[in-house]
Amino acid sequence: MGSEEEEHKDAETAPWTVGAVFASIGLFVLAGLAEVTGGWLVWQTMREGKPWWWAVLGSLALVGYGFVPTLQPAQLTFGRAFAVYGGFFIILSYAFGWVLDGNKPDVGDWVGSSIALAGVLVALFWPR
């Protein structure tokens, strides 16, 4: 039986399957929806005068967000999972602001978020 360090290294270098890719991307989107929803609800309470219970619901969504990344496939370490998530967060933040607040992203927003997402996908799927 190998050491814990060897087992971790084996998991990190395990090949990606189609199912694992879709599960991972789905979890990044779920995490983004939980975080952006929670943040938006708290923002609405603190900046827009919405009822206090919006902030409570937002806080619960943020707590839920904290657990979602732990469901990622074994190939992802903590640092890589959270770093890669950042690219998804950027795009979801713009989309959420557009849908809920009517703040349409401009060309620079789309170009920048596309570059970020492309970069994190390289980090996610780079052969190790």
pLDDT at 15: 78
Q: DSSP secondary structure string, 45-64?
A: HHHH---HHHHHHHHHHHHH
Which pLDDT score is estimated for 69? 94
Q: How far apart are CA 44 and CA 38, in angstroms?
A: 10
Per-residue pLDDT at 50 = 98
pLDDT digits (tens, 9 = 90+) for 4-56: 665 555 556 677 889 999 999 999 999 999 999 999 999 999 999 999 999 99
Distance of alpha carbon 55 from alpha carbon 116, whole angstroms: 29
Rounded to whole angstroms, the Cα distance separating 29 from 25 reads: 6
Q: Across residues 81-97, what is the average pLDDT?
A: 94
What's the pLDDT at 3?
62
Higher pLDDT, 92 or 14: 92
Report in angstroms the alpha-carbon separations of 17 from 9, 23, 81: 17, 10, 17
Please report which confidence band the pLDDT of residue 104 belongs to, taking 50, 70 and 90 as the band edges. very high
Average pLDDT, the chain: 91
Residue with tokens 């557009």: 98
Q: Where along the chain do its domains lie?
A: 17-125
- Residue 1, pLDDT above cutoff 90: no
Position 74 scores a pLDDT of: 85
Task: Return the pLDDT at 111.
Answer: 97
